Amino acid sequence: MKKGYIKQLHLSLKSKWMLAVGVTIFISYAIISIVLYVALQTWLINNEEKNALRTIDDMSTFFEAQENTVTIQKLQNNSALMKAILTQEQTVRIFNLDGIEIMRINDVTSAAEFPTEEMNYFSTIIEKQSIDGTEGYVIHRAVRIGQFQGIMQLIHPLTTFHTMMNYILTTILIVGFGAMLFSVSISYYLANVLVKPIVQLRDAMHLVRNNGFKAQPQFDYSAHDELGELLQMYRTLMNELEISFTKQQQFVADASHELRTPIQVIEGHLSLIKRWGKNDPEILMESLTTSLTEITRMKKMIEELLQLARREEADESAAANIEEVYEQVKEELLQLYPDTQFYLAVVGQRAEAAVTEHALAQIFRNIMSNSIRYNSNVPNLQINILYNDTDSTILVTIEDNGLGIPKEHLPYIFDRFYRVDESRTNHVAGTGLGLSITKMLVDKYRILMKVDSTLQKGTIFSLKFHKK
């Protein structure tokens, strides 16, 4: 059989399973039955041969034990003893040396043919012959009864043996057929049990492909085996896919919505310029300034969106000096917001953190610029950075003494496009993407981030870095 032949058969899994089980059981049973049948046959036929030889030995002993004066006639008149030595099927004939029958004990079968080979007084010739259509053992042996010398012929038909063999064969066939039927039913049941969840899984996949994630069917297979695990895995995978699919959809919807606003504003202003602005330098100037602001916002948003979409693998060999990166970001921010006060406190050694300098700068920039931008009205605004390098991790906290974030908004500030209402009303320029980018980077480098905020007191971001 070609390798993988069964795999290539265009049959259902259930049929393949049943075919394999059926063929295996059939072959095993056939081999066992043949071996058993042959062994029994050999054993029984040997028994028959032994019985026939024993009978002829007994007969010889009987004849030899007779007195010298005994005659065939005398024996024939008293044949009950001799009959007792034979079984019902056996026949013994005594021939004189000319081949003429002198005496017969039992008369079950006709006489057999004499052996072709030469006989002497001591030989016993045993052979198989078919007499009256029945196979049997025929034994010839020289015999002396009183003064008489002749040849004794024993016919031992194999009827019992054949009946026995037929009976065994019938039993083997019936039991075999029954066993086949039983095992095929069991394997059909098992195949049904095992294939059912696979079929359900296939149907579920079909359904999801045709009708989307909403069409999730229930599986009624709850066993904790490989199949159960497979279904569980599929369910988890589908849920994750659904969540990420919904998130993607939401993201696209939010992104287009957020981009539409500045485009509409620009469109409105361009129409205004077209209609009135050409001759009115005031309108022209105002519309151009607004359009440019919107374009800058749009540009920033697109850049941030691209950054979020570009999910690169984390650089495993990355190492950043936290203090250096902080100083660099601080300088950048001081250029934009010169009045801001930064305070840094360092505890412990100064090990490097497992993050790229670029990512760390982005994280610091987003958090610190938020602290400045959203608290521009706060007098004496301070940003305190505490850098605590312990044995296993590096803890950095960035704290401001600003307005704080209302509790109900805190869980959402890392969501894309999420902006706290006040920041919109206060007209702080922003896209709502800054903290989502921070979250993405933090997850990428397995940094633990926590945020606490108290209204009118300030906000504190804690970052726990792995050491390089």
Task: Give contact residues for ligand ADP (rule: CB under 6 A).
Answer: 366, 370-371, 374-375, 400, 402-403, 405, 413, 418-420, 423, 430-436, 459
CB contact at 8 A, 386 and 455: no
CB neighbours of 293 closer than 8 A, spacing ≥ 6?
429
**DSSP E strands, 132-234:** 134-145, 148-157
Angle, CA of 61, 62 and 64, to the nearest 5°: 65
Cβ atoms 258, 431 nearer than 8 A: yes
Q: Tokens in use for 231?
A: 């279904």
Return the residue matching tokens 């050694």.
349
Q: C-beta of 272: minimal distance to ligand ADP in Å?
A: 27
Q: Give the whole-angstrom CA distance, residue 133 versus residue 88.
A: 18
| Residue 368 amino acid letter | M
Q: Strands of 458-466's sheet, edge to edge?
A: 341-348, 382-389, 393-400, 458-466, 448-454
Q: How many CB atoms lie within 10 A of CB 403?
A: 22
| Nearer to ligand ADP among residue 3 and residue 427 (C-beta) | 427
Least Å from the CB of residue 417 to ligand ADP: 8
Looking at beta carbons only, is 159 or 382 nearer to ligand ADP? 382
Give whichever of 196 and 457 is closer to ligand ADP, judged by the CB atom: 457
Amino acid identity for residue 187 in this structure: S
Q: Which is nearer to ligand ADP, 109 or 370 (CB)?
A: 370
Which C-beta is closer to ligand ADP: that of 161 or that of 374? 374
> Which residue is it, tokens 């440019």?
292
Q: C-beta of 305: minimal distance to ligand ADP in Å?
A: 12
Between helices 226-272 and 281-309, what is the axis angle to 10°?
A: 170
Question: Nearest distance from residue 419's CB to ligand ADP, in Å?
Answer: 4
Q: In this complex, which beta carbon is closest to ligand ADP, that of residue 141 or of residue 416?
A: 416
Q: What's the min distance (Å) between Cβ of 467 and ligand ADP?
A: 27
Q: How far is the CB of 212 from ligand ADP (least distance, A)?
A: 31
When the beta carbons of 396 and 403 are compared against ligand ADP, the nearer one is: 403
**Nearest to residue 135, comparing CAs of 154, 165, 162?**
162
State the minimum distance, in angstroms, from the CB of residue 402 to ligand ADP.
5
**CB-closest chain residue to ligand ADP:** 430
- Tell me which DSSP letter residue 416 carries: T
